[in-house]
Amino acid sequence: MEQVIETPPAENVAVKTDDPRYLSAYLLEKLGVTRLNRHNLLLRCRSCGEVWSPTLNADASLPAGYWRCPNGCNG
Ligand SMILES: [Zn+2]
């Protein structure tokens, strides 16, 4: 089994909830995705273990379907 390093929420640091990098861990769990790193957007599929980093749109918003596994496990 791989070890997943989970970063606890850091409510007291300057986190803007409209920052696209600030993803809802709860939502991602529902999607079968684990966020590996809260600063760089690095996601891992919990089905196949694929790791990917969505590319933000030009306006720094998250692209549609950013949470989809490249292998299509959850999309
Ligand atoms: Zn997958």
Ion ligand 1: residue ranges with CB closer than 5 A: 45, 47-48, 50, 69, 71, 73
The alpha carbon of 47 and the centre of ligand 1 are apart by a number of angstroms equal to 5
The alpha carbon of 32 and the centre of ligand 1 are apart by a number of angstroms equal to 9
Residue 28, H or E segment = helix 25-30
Which residue, among 21, 63, 17, has the nearest Cα to 41 in the 3D structure?
A: 21
The alpha carbon of 42 and the centre of ligand 1 are apart by a number of angstroms equal to 14
Which residue, among 61, 63, 73, 64, has the nearest Cα to 18 in the 3D structure?
A: 61
Cα(5)–Cα(31) distance, integer angstroms: 18
pLDDT by residue for the chain (75 residues), tens digit each? 666 666 655 554 444 455 556 677 788 888 999 988 766 789 999 999 999 998 888 888 888 888 999 999 997
pTM: 0.66
Q: Which two tokens stand for residue 2?
A: 């791989």
Which residue, among 34, 40, 36, has the nearest Cα to 67 in the 3D structure?
A: 34
Coil vs helix vs strand at 34: strand
